[in-house]
């Protein structure tokens, strides 16, 4: 091929044309792929402010954040102690309770089981709370403790803690 | 199955494996590789490829728009505005789609002009022409349905006017209109079914385009001289010669459509369509999309409701029988000294009809529309059969290569037969 200079020129033209075509095609495809990711208004709806003044000790509320349930629980002394007693190294997904809360009576969790995405039970007084008195996922039987950590069942990870900040004593901003 | 079937052998074993089970590789090689194209085809012959590319672009951009569109009277307009403001590159997809529709018609009109001027509709390509007219009809229906979806004032009142055409049919008209709308006027039921049909019809078009292409490949493409391929010297292979030529055309087309999409995306849009649909207020001046305007002009030129509707649809239906109205055996207008001028007159007339179709139907505009209407139908019913009868065509070249010999010979002088074209040189080297 490279013997004749004529072919070199042709090779160059062919390669540069194909390259230009490939770059052009990619540039054309990109906006279409990008259009499928969350739109500006969806992103703008990504944070929620919650009034927590009405929540009593031991009570838990569920709010919607980015379309997912978020559990906000005011824990009792017993529950906090139960969560603190556990040795993190014994857990499937080792994490201390202190790393999962900002103020120890307030536990904020994304209420989505880390196994296959069901919403665990345990928000209502009448719900099953599982063997560790936290949450219990009815789909495939995962048990979470009073810190939302996985203790038993198929789920691989602890319940997620969403990004949140206390705007004041009575208001949490999630997201 | 035929045991004696000859299986084409390729170097690549994977291709052979597929070819043995489904002879699709040899099909593509035959139809898009070795397919002989007349070597005198000019850039008019690239518009079929451009139309196919545009159709695919319309389907792709449409699917992505549909992911963000809501076909409900309360939400449709806002969902389109959301596409423009919030969806990533939504503005680009919508402008590709809306201007793509206009360019699709420009391309297809040029494609039809090509077919008419060079006589591509004649024996043996009549069925091909019929399929083409069918595609044109489907395109008009699809574009009308799509124009309704943004649910602006023009959408709503355009849909109202066009569906009211059906009420002109005696006895069953009103009932038919109500059945089409699913309501007594254009409403949510209408919008929902228009969206469903607008989504599916492009795939129907795609299927008919497949037949259209398959049909032209049976007897091969026509050419500017309208004579058949006789020897290998008359043709070049589709690959790479025509593929490269079509690619050049595609690049030019890309520049043109990009200029409009990025610098004048609303040039061909109506301002009133940025006002949400209001069933109680009709815009002062209802205009169809420019690409449907010639037919709209015919509709308005007739002072009778049913007559106008019949002539408007007749103006399209008449195209189906063009191959039998034209009695001349000579295809290309380049060799028809009389008909050529009537043909060009037809194109100018069609353009003029489109122009007055966008303007109010009164005074001089109405007169032009009426004269245009007479010429439109006169061209098909009187001029085309009659000129074919009396005209004496110019002498056709003996072959496609002969065209080049004649064109080039005077330039080099002397008694030479002419410079062989590059394609001929290639053949002699082999």
* Nearest alpha carbon to residue B116 among B129, B134, B102, B135: B129
Question: Using CB atoms, which residue from A34, A36, A40 is nearest to B67?
Answer: A36
Task: Kindly list the domain boundaries of chain A, sorted by start residue.
Answer: 1-37, 43-174
Cα B174 from Cα B164, distance rounded (Å):
8
Backbone dihedral angles phi then psi of residue A142, each to the nearest 5 degrees: -95, 135
The reply to whether B305 and B374 lie within a common domain is: yes
Q: Which residue has the tokens 């992103």?
A: A43
In which element (H, E) is residue B15 found?
A: helix B13-21
Domain final residue, candidates B265, B286, B307: B286
In Å, how far from its chain's centre is CA B103?
10
A56 touches chain B (CB under 8 A): no
Query: Which distant-in-sequence residues (6+ apart) come within 8 Å of B197 by Cβ?
Result: B141, B145
The reply to whether B133 and B251 lie within a common domain is: yes
So what's the pLDDT on residue B412? 44
Q: What fold is seen in the domain A43-174?
A: Rieske Iron-sulfur Protein (2.102.10)
So what's the pLDDT on residue B422? 47
A67 touches chain B (CB under 8 A): no
The reply to whether B175 and B73 lie within a common domain is: yes
CATH of the domain at B111: 1.20.810.10
Q: Is B275 exposed, middle or buried (0-12, 13-18, 19+ CB in 10 A)?
A: middle
B88 touches chain A (CB under 8 A): yes
A31 touches chain B (CB under 8 A): yes
Token pair recorded at residue B275: 């006002």
Query: Comparing A3-12, A128-137, A140-149, B260-269, which segment has the lowest mean pLDDT?
Result: A3-12
| CA dist B137 → A106, B209, B356 (Å) | 66, 13, 22
Question: Using CB atoms, which residue from A35, A37, A41 is nearest to B64?
Answer: A35
B92 touches chain A (CB under 8 A): yes
- Is B412 among the domain residues? no
Do the chains contact at A36 and B64, CB–CB below 8 Å? Answer: yes
Q: What is the mean pLDDT of residues A48-77?
A: 91
Question: Using CB atoms, which residue from A31, A32, A41 is nearest to B86?
Answer: A41
Q: Spell out which residues of chain B touch residue A40, defining contact as CB-CB under 8 Å.
A: 85-88
Give A 68-127 residues with CB within 8 A of chain B.
Answer: none
Q: Is residue B191 a contact partner of residue B151, using CB atoms and an 8 Å limit? A: yes
The reply to whether B115 and B79 lie within a common domain is: yes
Do the chains contact at A35 and B89, CB–CB below 8 Å? Answer: yes
Do the chains contact at B89 and A39, CB–CB below 8 Å? Answer: no
Residues B1-28 have pLDDT tens digits of: 566 677 788 889 999 999 999 999 999 9
Q: Is residue B113 a contact partner of residue B347, using CB atoms and an 8 Å limit? A: yes
**Number of folded domains in chain B?**
3
The reply to whether B310 and B188 lie within a common domain is: no
Q: What is the mean pLDDT of residues A27-42?
A: 92
Do the chains contact at A35 and B85, CB–CB below 8 Å? Answer: no
So what's the pLDDT on residue B44? 97
The reply to whether B5 and B113 lie within a common domain is: no
Q: Which residues of chain B register pLDDT less than 50?
A: 409-430
A27 touches chain B (CB under 8 A): no
So what's the pLDDT on residue A43? 82
pLDDT band for position A4 (50/70/90)? low
Cα angle B296-B302-B306, degrees, rounded to a multiple of 5: 90
* Nearest alpha carbon to residue B265 among B58, B81, B90, B99: B99
Q: Is residue B61 a contact partner of residue B69, using CB atoms and an 8 Å limit? A: no
Q: Is residue A122 a contact partner of residue A146, using CB atoms and an 8 Å limit? A: no
B60 touches chain A (CB under 8 A): yes
Strand partners, B216: none
So what's the pLDDT on residue A46? 77
The reply to whether B219 and B243 lie within a common domain is: yes
Residue B258: closest C-alpha in chain A: A28
Query: Which distant-in-sequence residues (6+ apart) come within 8 Å of B45 by Cβ?
Result: B37, B114, B221, B223, B242
The reply to whether B279 and B298 lie within a common domain is: no
Cis peptide before B304 (omega within 30 of 0): no
Strands of the sheet with A48-51, listed across from one edge: A48-51, A171-174, A164-168
- Is B404 among the domain residues? no
So what's the pLDDT on residue B373? 96
| Reported ipTM exceeds the 0.90 cut | no
Full residue range of the structural domain in which residue B103 is found = 43-286
Q: For this structure, is A140 an active site residue? A: yes
The reply to whether B307 and B260 lie within a common domain is: no
Residues A77-132 have pLDDT tens digits of: 999 999 998 888 889 999 999 999 999 899 999 999 999 999 999 998 888 889 99
The reply to whether B106 and B154 lie within a common domain is: yes
The reply to whether B188 and B256 lie within a common domain is: yes
The reply to whether B112 and B246 lie within a common domain is: yes
Cis peptide before B124 (omega within 30 of 0): yes
So what's the pLDDT on residue B411? 45
- Is B114 among the domain residues? yes
pLDDT band for position A47 (50/70/90)? confident
pLDDT-above-90 percentage for chain A: 67
- Is B38 among the domain residues? no
So what's the pLDDT on residue B421? 46
Choose the catalytic residue: A92, A140, A157, A173: A140
Q: Is B373 exposed, middle or buried (0-12, 13-18, 19+ CB in 10 A)?
A: buried
């Amino acid at each position: 091929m490279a013997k004749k200079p004529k072919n070199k020129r042709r090779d160059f033209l062919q390669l540069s044309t194909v390259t230009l075509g490939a770059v052009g095609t990619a540039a054309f495809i990109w906006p279409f792929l990008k259009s499928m990711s969350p739109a500006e208004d969806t992103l703008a709806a990504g944070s929620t402010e919650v009034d927590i003044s009405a929540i009593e000790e031991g009570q838990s509320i569920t709010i919607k954040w980015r379309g997912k349930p978020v559990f906000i629980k005011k824990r009792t002394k017993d529950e906090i102690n139960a969560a603190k007693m556990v040795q993190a190294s014994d857990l499937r997904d080792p994490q201390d309770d202190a790393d999962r809360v900002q103020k120890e009576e307030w536990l904020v969790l994304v209420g989505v089981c880390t196994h296959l995405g069901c919403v665990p039970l345990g928000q209502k007084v009448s719900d099953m709370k599982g063997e560790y008195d936290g949450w219990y996922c009815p789909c495939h039987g995962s048990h979470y403790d009073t810190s939302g950590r996985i203790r038993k069942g198929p789920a691989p990870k602890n319940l997620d803690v969403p990004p949140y900040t206390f705007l004041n004593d009575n208001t949490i901003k999630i997201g | 199955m035929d045991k004696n079937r000859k299986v084409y052998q390729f170097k690549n074993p994977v291709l052979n494996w597929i070819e043995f089970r489904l002879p699709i590789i040899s099909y593509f090689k035959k139809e898009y590789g070795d397919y002989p194209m007349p070597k005198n085809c000019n850039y008019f012959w690239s518009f079929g490829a451009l139309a196919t590319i545009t159709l695919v672009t319309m389907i792709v951009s449409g699917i992505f728009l549909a992911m963000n569109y809501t076909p409900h009277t309360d939400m449709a307009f806002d969902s389109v505005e959301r596409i423009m403001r919030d969806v990533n590159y939504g503005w680009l997809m919508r402008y590709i789609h809306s201007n793509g529709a206009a360019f699709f018609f420009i391309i297809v009109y040029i494609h039809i002009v090509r077919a008419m001027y060079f006589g591509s509709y004649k024996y043996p390509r009549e069925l091909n022409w019929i399929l083409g007219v069918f595609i044109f009809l489907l395109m008009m229906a699809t574009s009308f349905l799509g124009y309704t979806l943004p649910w602006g004032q023009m959408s709503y009142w355009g849909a109202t006017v066009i569906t009211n055409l059906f009420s002109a049919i005696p006895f069953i008209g009103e009932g038919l209109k109500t059945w089409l709308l699913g309501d007594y006027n254009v409403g949510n039921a209408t919008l929902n079914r228009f969206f469903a049909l607008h989504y599916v019809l492009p795939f129907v078009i795609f299927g008919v385009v497949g037949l259209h292409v398959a049909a032209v490949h049976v007897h091969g493409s026509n050419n500017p001289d309208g004579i058949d391929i006789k020897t290998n010297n008359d043709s070049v292979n589709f690959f790479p010669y025509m593929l490269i030529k079509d690619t050049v055309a595609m690049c030019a087309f890309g520049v043109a459509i990009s200029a409009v999409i990025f610098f004048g995306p609303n040039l061909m849009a109506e301002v009133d369509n940025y006002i949400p649909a209001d069933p109680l207020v009709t815009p002062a001046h209802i205009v169809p999309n420019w690409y449907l305007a010639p037919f709209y002009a015919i509709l308005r030129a007739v002072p009778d409701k049913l007559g106008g509707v019949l002539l408007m649809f007749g103006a399209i239906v008449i195209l189906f029988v063009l191959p039998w109205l034209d009695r001349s055996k000579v295809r290309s207008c380049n060799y028809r000294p009389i008909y050529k001028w009537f043909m060009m007159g037809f194109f100018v007339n069609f353009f003029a009809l489109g122009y007055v179709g966008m303007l109010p139907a009164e005074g001089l505009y109405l007169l032009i529309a009426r004269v245009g209407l007479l010429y439109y139908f006169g061209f098909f019913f009187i001029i085309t059969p009659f000129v074919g009868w009396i005209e004496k065509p110019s002498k056709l070249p003996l072959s496609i290569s002969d065209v080049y010999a004649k064109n080039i010979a005077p330039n080099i002088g002397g008694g030479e037969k002419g410079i062989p074209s590059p394609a001929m040189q290639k053949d002699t080297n082999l």
